[in-house]
Amino acid sequence: MASELSASAQRVQEALADRGLPGRVVELSQTTRTAVEAARAIGCDVAQIVKSLVFCGARSGQVYLVLVRGVDRVDESRLAEVVGEQVTRASPEVVRARTGYAIGGVPPVGHREPLPTLIDAALLEMAELWAAAGTPHAVFRVRPDELVRITGGRVVVVAAGR
């Protein structure tokens, strides 16, 4: 664990502190770019990893942040029903432009602009979660109720097979 956070991880730390969760971000020597890598580096179950996925509305161009467990995929048809339009995965360029972070480090908070956030209900079944914190090496621990509160996200069912 590094004693000083990188600029991106520090932005997430500040966003967490602004929401009443100070001192949460840790940077690891191992990569946390994928859910499997993150779980291995942290020593937790893959289901405890929060995947932050970015989708674009086909008609509106609206960007949506979708949070699911590390073991889940988003059912894009179900997501389209929830948001009221067809969606596609955002390109890496759109993700960086709209969130301020690269894929593999997108946190659930601290984005360049406010994004409508959808939280898959399965995340609320976990006792403890770990989310990306701005880089492929930074994470923070959060309870499901805290995740809902700090993101202002809407709890929905968008995971495939649920």
Instruction: Say what the pTM is.
Output: 0.95
Q: Which residue has the higher pLDDT, 22 or 73?
A: 73
Taking the domains of the chain in order of start, what are their residue ranges?
7-156
- Does residue 2 surpass a pLDDT of 80? no
Average pLDDT over the chain reads 95
CATH number (3.20.20.410, 3.90.960.10, 3.10.129.10, 3.40.50.300) of 7-156 reads 3.90.960.10
**Helical (H) or strand (E) element with 151:** helix 144-151
| Residue 6, SS3 per DSSP | coil
The pLDDT of residue 3 is 55
The single-letter DSSP state of residue 133 is: -
Mean pLDDT within 1-13 = 83
| First-to-last C-alpha distance (Å) of the chain | 36
Q: In angstroms, rounded to a whole number, what is the distance separating the alpha carbons of residues 78 and 151?
A: 21
